[in-house]
Structures are given as structure tokens and as C-alpha cells.
Chains A and B, each alone.
Chain A
Amino acid sequence: DAEITQSPRHKITETGRQVTLACHQTWNHNNMFWYRQDLGHGLRLIHYSYGVHDTNKGEVSDGYSVSRSNTEDLPLTLESAASSQTSVYFCASRESQDRSEAFFGQGTRLTVV
């Protein structure tokens, strides 16, 4: 069965370190998204991609970057982790069709100390 997986599921890192969260989907979806979820804010869009070599900034992109070298993967990099980036991160993918649903990975809980 097709799926979308995130790794790691949990990570603790120190302030200032570079961190990369992996997202891999086997749906062959063109559209991929990264969100962070914090209490009181719901899911906020960090970056998204409509296809290979395409990346776009979302509403909370500062301090984050993504790259899309193939259809399956959209890694999210925190260039210099900050305590404000402690959050739960969700990756999602979606077909390029109206009314197509988005499928989510199980999330990565990141703690920056």
C-alpha cells in the first residue's frame, strides 16, 4: 500500500544545531507540504512543493528550508534550531486533482533545548 512516512518520530536537539526532518511518500503525488502544529495555532504551513525542483514558502517559513530533488521526498531543514521551533511537524502529500484529499505522515515531535 502507498504511504507517507516521516523520520525521526521524536528528536531532541540543541539550540543552534542544523536539523533535517525526512518525509517520504510512495503515492507519487506531485504536491507535498510541511506543517507545524502548536497549541492555539492549529496547523501552520511552513513550505510546500508542487513538483521536482519546485519549492514555495508558507506562512511560517523563516528558519526553515526544503528541497525537492525527486517526487518521493521533501526533507525539511532547520538551519539553526531555536527553542521557538519546538513543535510537532507534519508532512503531507496530495494529488493534483480537485477534491483530492491530503495524506499525512505520523508526525515528528521536535524539542529544541
Chain B
Amino acid sequence: RKEVEQDPGPFNVPEGATVAFNCTYSNSASQSFFWYRQDCRKEPKLLMSVYSSGNEDGRFTAQLNRASQYISLLIRDSKLSDSATYLCVVAYSSASKIIFGSGTRLSIRP
């Protein structure tokens, strides 16, 4: 079983729609969680960290459920520019390796 699992998609939704991704992780010792965005095989870039209480950044909301070991990303009012691959990322501690999910492809259509 992979340490971090994501639905690969693709998710194809119309502009303005709300879309949600989930990600599960297998190691309960995981401490830090992130969502990264990757465009067209360019380098991944941080979208947002995920905090225990959940957090929001504009149209993006991230949630963490430690009991069920999953994190989620919600995108509201999706824009064409949101089309990308979204990577779920987990780290066990501050000085530890970071593990990536295989990514979820999102395509926003006009």
C-alpha cells in the first residue's frame, strides 16, 4: 500500500463549480500536511499547508481528519487557471522525508 494515496482523476468540471479532492495517508505518526500544485510537469509549488483545525485561503479550503487519516482540498468558484495537478504531501516530522501522493488532475472547462 502506498504511504499517500490520491484519486488520480482526471476531474473535469465547468468553470464556477466546486470540486473536492481527498487524500489518505497510512502512517499515523505523520505530523505535517500540505497541498502542492503542479502545472504541466513544471516543479511543484506549495498551494497551502493543512492545519488540524482546517484552514482557508481565498477559494481554497483544506481539512485534516487525523482519526480517519485523510486530508481534503475544496476549491470553490473554480477558475480556468485552477487546471493543474494537485499533490497531497505528508511529512512525519520537521526533519524528515516528505512523501507525495501521485496527484489528482483537475481540468476546468469554460
Contact = CB atoms under 8 A, between A and B. Distances in A.
Interface of A: 30-31, 33, 35, 37, 40-43, 45, 48, 50, 56, 58, 88, 90, 92, 94-102, 104-107
B43 A105 contact: yes
A42 B100 contact: yes
A43 B87 contact: yes
Interface of B: 31-32, 34, 41-46, 49, 87, 89, 93-95, 97-103
A58 B99 CA distance: 10
Given A42-B103, A98-B32, A99-B49, A31 B42 contact: no
Given A33-B97, A45-B97, A40 B43 contact: no
Contacts of B34: 101
11 contacts: A35-B100, A42-B102, A42-B103, A92-B98, A96-B94, A98-B32, A100-B94, A102-B98, A104-B43, A106-B43, A107-B42
B41 A41 contact: no
